[in-house]
Amino acid sequence: MSVASNVNPTVRRRRLGQELRRLREQKGMTAEEVAERLLVSQSKISRLENGRRSISQRDVRDLCGVYEVEDHRVVDSLMQMAKDSRQQGWWHAFGDIPYSVYIGLETDAASLRVYEPQVVPGLLQTRPYAEALITGSAPEWTAADIDKRVNVRVRRQDRIKEGEAPLRLWAVIDESALRRVVGGKQLMIAQLEHLVEQSYLPHVTVQVLPFDMGAHPGIGGHYAILEFPDAADSSVVYIEGVTSDLYLEKANDVQRYSVMYEHLRAQALNVEQTRQFIGDVIKEYAGGTVR
């Protein structure tokens, strides 16, 4: 078992959960049986294994005892992973962020494929656009809450600015995201110009899915596929919800969404056509004729 030293807490916790699940399955035990042995709930075991719950060194010690792990090097490695997984990522400095699990995964991902049907993807938003979008979508939030979330969104964009290993971003954006006037036409012009500018980065690909394409596989809504540099970390499909988020990690689920994404890319305008299309929308905004 190898443990990389540069894995962030979220990914480390997820990897540790996978190792604990593997040990349980090798032992031939169900999560319910383990829960009964440790006098805890089955949901706790499930959350430990899927990386959704913080794992203490005591948890690891108890589970290794149940699984009768005799190799001290394995136990020590898992204990160290548990210790590292309780460290805080950069996003914790901003306080309670509802999608902190996603940010942790995004921070360590090697590539991200995202389909966005309503707005410009967060990693490609200008600060004024992000502020207007967050303000409009959550009118009950205070100015401080809005500012915190805007700062987090802008900070996330460092991943596509890193020199040595930037995030490989592929974004398919529905035409509606370009025509939804967020913050006024002048703000939209600046946002769309920024979108075109970012599309020239070698690790960023932007494609627009125009209305004329009709029905398509992404009609169900936004989703993202995250892939990681270490083969030990399986890909994740992220689906954002109003009150909770969904993370799909089973190979069949990831494969299904990956195939859907390939269909979206095939139906969308190519890169050059996309830049021209966005340029035409910018001209419409500037001329006051945007529909």
CB-CB contact of 208 with 277 (8 Å): yes
Give the mean model confidence (pLDDT) for residues 161-179. Answer: 93
* Between 74 and 36, the higher pLDDT residue: 36
Q: Is the pLDDT of residue 274 over 50?
A: yes
Residue 233 and residue 17: Cα distance in Å, rounded? 11
- The pair of three-digit structure tokens given for residue 245, joined into one six-digit string: 């988020």
Q: Quick check: helix, strand or coil at residue 13?
A: helix
Instruction: Decide if pLDDT at 142 tops 50.
Output: yes
DSSP state of 141: S
- Residues 60-83 have a mean pLDDT of 84
Q: What does each C-alpha distance from 260 to 105, 114, 115 come to in angstroms?
A: 21, 11, 10
What pLDDT sits at residue 114? 96
d(CA 132, CA 115): 21
In the chain, the N- to C-terminal Cα span, in Å, equals 57
pLDDT for position 35: 87
* Greater pLDDT, 90 or 177: 177
Q: Nearest CA to 17 among 191, 256, 249?
A: 249
Q: What is the mean pLDDT of residues 209-217?
A: 88
pLDDT at 168 over 90: yes
Contact call for residues 103 and 156 (beta carbons, < 8 A)? yes
Query: Domains in the chain and their CATH numbers?
Result: 9-87 (1.10.260.40), 91-287 (3.30.870)
Can you give the pLDDT at residue 71?
Answer: 84
- In SS3 terms, 170-231 reads as EEEEEHHHHHCCCCCHHHHHHHHHHHHHHHCCCCEEEEEECHHHCCCCCCCCCEEEEECCCC
What local confidence, expressed as pLDDT, does residue 22 receive? 84
pLDDT at 290: 59
State the pLDDT confidence band at 59, using cuts at 50, 70 and 90: confident
The pLDDT confidence band at residue 43, using thresholds 50, 70 and 90, is confident
Compare 58 and 119 and report the one with higher pLDDT: 119
Assigned token pair, 8: 């962030």
Q: Edge-to-edge, what's the strand order for the sheet holding 236-239?
A: 204-209, 168-174, 111-116, 223-227, 236-239, 246-248
What does the pLDDT look like over 230-262, one tens digit per residue? 776 778 898 876 656 787 888 899 999 999 999
- The amino acid occupying position 50 is N
Distance CA 248, CA 236 (A): 6
Give SS3 for 110: coil
Do residues 117 and 174 touch, judged by C-beta distance below 8 A?
A: yes
How far is it, in rounded angstroms, from Cα 136 to Cα 132? 6
Q: Indicate whether 1 pLDDT > 50.
A: no
Average pLDDT for residues 22-34, to the nearest whole number? 88
| pLDDT averaged over every residue in the chain | 86
**Tens digit of each residue's pLDDT (9 = 90 or more) over 173-188:** 999 999 999 999 999 9
